[in-house]
Chains A and B, each alone.
Chain A
Amino acid sequence: MGMAPTSTVFRDETFRDDFTFKNSPETVLRAPFPFDQDEYMYSVNMELHEAGEKGTAFEKPFDVDEHYVAEMRDRALVLEEDPMRCQSLPHMTLAGWDTLELLMENLSESYPEWFVLTRDGNNWHWINRPLDIDQKFVFGDESTLPYGPMEYITRQVQGDFAILDERDDNLWMDAGMVTTQADWSLDFDIGMNFMEWHAPVPLAHEKGIFKRALKYLMSIQQGNPARRLNWTMTVNPRLDTSPENYHQWGVENTQVTADNVADKLFLRIELQTLWRLPRSNAILFPIRCYLLSMRDISTVPKWAKRFHRVLKTLPPQLSEYKGLDNYRQTAVDYLLQFDDGGETTLGTAPE
């Protein structure tokens, strides 16, 4: 694949086998750290996805960073082994075109040095310089693209994508591209509604979280995207922690030791955004994954203190649901050296 002659270098790295993934110091500081206080509990923590805050992952509507090219290479490998990671039920093709339009418009506006979209009626021309792609096609005509519209564009954008159809006062997961997931399966969830696919989450149902969240999601309007952050932890910088491949990564959960925890254990942050799509009235749900090693976190004093406290006080049901039990104490012990017990400031900024 070609590389663009730009100031930002896309790292040549892997998310499997030899795991050469690494964050630059700048990428650590712009990560969307998910904890705004020292204890964590579920909440409907949604806010408007207003882009523009410089030096953060929210600067552009869809964030492209130094891991872009390598992540897309990893996605292609996952799809080669398991094409069912990308599925679209027959009534979702229009939503796929909506998705393609939204992503191409935003990427070309945000990063004109890398992405160019030219439109003459339905005759579109798409240039993606980092991935060395130059494609002319007819908007709305699937036969002019190498894949369906959703698959075509989501092979070129970081993060997973689910497309939710809205009907019967509910949202239905009827299409998606899911290769960088925290242990959930599109092939299992496809066709389910919002309540069904959230059924396994502990504590939140009792708090009425999902009922309120569903109401909020269905009120999302065109031009007013929303966002929330979620998190878990992952051993090794592996993007594809899928149930399908549990046999490959499950065993790694027991391999974290005091000696290797700093570089082997990662906070996995999901920046989830929600977009109302115009023609299909569906909702696009991108889930963008950021990985921070324990060592990365230790370079930001406030984050190290706070994450130490969050992990220490996490309710056991959540620790179990998120799959942290094998290494939580090791992480807490490691982070203790960075926590002087002093107060932390509110908010998520590195300070």
Chain B
Amino acid sequence: MSANNMIDVVVTQVVEVNELVKRFHFSRPDGLALPAFSGGSHIIVEMSDGEHVRKSPYSLMSSPLDTSDYQISIRRDDEGRGGSLYMHREVRPGMSMRISAPANLFPINNRSTKHLMIAGGIGITPFIAQTAQLLATGGDFELHYGARTTELASYVDELRASIGRRLHAYIGENIDFDDLLSRQPAGTHLYVCGPEPMIELVLAKAAENGWPKGHIHFEHFAKAPPGEPFTAYLSKSNKSIQVGKDQSLLEAMEEAGVDAPYLCRGGACGQCETTVVEAEGKILHGDYWLDDEEKAAGNKIMPCVSRFCGSNLVIER
């Protein structure tokens, strides 16, 4: 199902965290509380950029105990299709925006006795919310945070102040995952968020060290990439749509008034999976949902992040 639970908010603060990262604060215009949420949740931010509406997911980093103020941090991506650039350049305090209610695809396992968290770069944001939640409930955790430089280690000082020795920062150095993963007590749950190569390395090391699958949690939002414009025919709606170079197939469907399902808008949750009826050309899969076999078969597409290059694409929507 698609989200019809959008919330009107006002941007109350924009804070430059470092050369690449800005933090955005949202409140409700009527001053009432925003919905409560759990650590690890994301929101979808709706951006009216010129004639197009773009919707991108960002992890909530503020404390789940404070629902007067939602905070997200966005790393500028000069190569992307413009969402982060729009946020960095256009969004100012006082602006009205729309966001979705929080959804959590990266929740804490409430039955676990210990939480081992591994963050890389801007992947730190969901852990800031989760550690605030665990501090309040008295959960046992440690957070291992890697960043290339001191400047890019966003929030390391804030975290040191809030969680003290439970923070292990690795600035410009590698984390010894074998060591870390081999000495955890039984029943520990592992959470990873960061760049894709780091997630894959941690998942491989966890498998080598015999971690049960159900104890491993990771979150990586794929970014909807820019690309060549293409045309798609929606067989159920009987509509032909143009997908612009800075637009995702999902956004183009929405612009055409077609109500398509989604949840994460980052190729991870599977909600927007759509059957491909005909394709003369190549589907440019960008998601984490379909497995390699499904991608090769070409019968399914995830319109939130995947594109198409060819003469004819018909999808069942």
Contact = CB atoms under 8 A, between A and B. Distances in A.
A325 interface: no
A130 to B, nearest CB: 28
A279 B271 contact: no
Interface string B271-285: 100000000000000
B177 interface: no
Nearest to B263: A219
A221 B110 contact: no
Interface in A77-120: 91-92, 94, 98, 101
B38 A221 contact: no
Interface stretch (B100-108, B157-165, B198-206): B100-108
A281 B100 CA distance: 16
B1 interface: yes
A238 B101 CA distance: 40
A222 B107 CA distance: 14
B155 interface: no
B103 A222 contact: yes
Interface residues of A, number: 23
B64 A219 contact: no
B180 interface: no
B111 A279 contact: no
A280 interface: yes
A224 B5 contact: yes
A166 B111 CA distance: 11
B126 to A, nearest CB: 13
Given A94-B110, A224-B3, A280 B263 contact: no
B101 A280 contact: no
Contact of A219 (B1, B38, B100, B111): B1
Interface string B1-29: 10111000000000000000000000000
A316 interface: no
Contacts of B271: 219
Given A91-B110, A91-B111, A94-B110, A223 B104 contact: no
Contact of B38 (A215, A223, A280): A280
B103 A221 contact: yes
A167 B216 CA distance: 11
B230 to A, nearest CB: 28
A94 B107 CA distance: 14
B303 to A, nearest CB: 16
A168 B214 CA distance: 5
B174 interface: no
Interface string B183-222: 0000000000000000000000000000000100000000
Nearest to B133: A279
Given A221-B263, A223-B5, A281 B107 contact: yes
Interface in B31-75: 35-38, 41, 64
B65 to A, nearest CB: 9
A118 B214 CA distance: 41
A278 interface: yes
Contacts of A165: 110-111
A141 to B, nearest CB: 13
B3 A221 contact: yes
B38 A278 contact: yes
Given A91-B110, A94-B110, A278 B37 contact: yes
B91 interface: no
- Which 5 pairs of residues, A with B, have the shortest CB-CB distance? A223-B5, A278-B36, A223-B101, A91-B110, A168-B214
Given A219-B1, A222-B103, A276-B103, 6 more contacts: A165-B111, A220-B1, A221-B103, A224-B1, A281-B104, A281-B107
13 contacts: A91-B111, A94-B137, A165-B111, A167-B110, A219-B269, A221-B3, A222-B101, A224-B101, A279-B36, A279-B64, A280-B110, A281-B41, A281-B104
